[in-house]
Amino acid sequence: MNKINYFFILLIIFSLLSCDILNNEPPPFIITEPVCVLSDISFDFIYAGISFSFMNKSLKDINSITASFLLFDAKTKTNPFIGSNIFEIKKLIFIYPNENKEIILSLDKFIHNAPTEPYLIDFFYISEIEYTDGSVWEDKNGKYRK
């Protein structure tokens, strides 16, 4: 191969990698460590849910957030569900700029037996934020996971 071919190969590799390398801006939110809670007294769920605090650091109003995560049985560390233990749950919630809110995601529609112990949560991240102006922030690969 000649020098021109090497140059084009390096240019292609750099352009593919640069999207993630050059985008080192912090996410437009702050979240706490998510916890699995059972038998909530609120209206969000009856048997099991995921709870975390979310602060909107952007200058825009949020319309909804989507969280992605894995769940495991606390004792066996295996998948406790009939199907996949990979979740992506969208929550319609209005959050002003600089506002902090507790977010509760219901797991009730995914379970067939009421858990006796909270599930273990792994690889939790906010995968999408929709703003009231129609714009969207995304992290489809979990770059900012907890």
pLDDT tens-digit map of 1-49: 565 544 445 445 555 444 554 567 899 999 999 999 998 777 899 999 9
Residue with tokens 């979990």: 142
Distance between CA 62 and CA 43 in Å, rounded? 21
Residue with tokens 């495991």: 72
pLDDT value at residue 2 = 60
Distance between CA 57 and CA 95 in Å, rounded? 10
Q: Which domains does the chain have, with CATH numbers?
A: 26-138 (2.60.40)
Q: Is the CB of residue 62 less than 8 Å from the CB of residue 56? A: yes
**Is 73 strand, coil or helix?**
coil
The tens digit of pLDDT for each residue in 76-121 reads 999 999 889 999 999 999 999 999 999 999 999 999 889 999 999 9
Structure tokens at 1: 């191969």
pLDDT value at residue 18 = 45
pLDDT value at residue 89 = 98
Q: What is the pTM of this model?
A: 0.82
The tens digit of pLDDT for each residue in 59-75 reads 999 999 999 999 999 99
The tens digit of pLDDT for each residue in 121-134 reads 999 999 999 999 99
Strands (E), 32-119: 35-38, 48-56, 62-72, 86-95, 100-106
Q: Is the CB of residue 110 less than 8 Å from the CB of residue 79? A: no
Among candidate residues 82, 77, 68, 76, the one with its CA nearest the CA of residue 34: 68
Give the containing element (helix H, strand E) for 137: strand 136-138
Distance between CA 24 and CA 3 in Å, rounded? 32
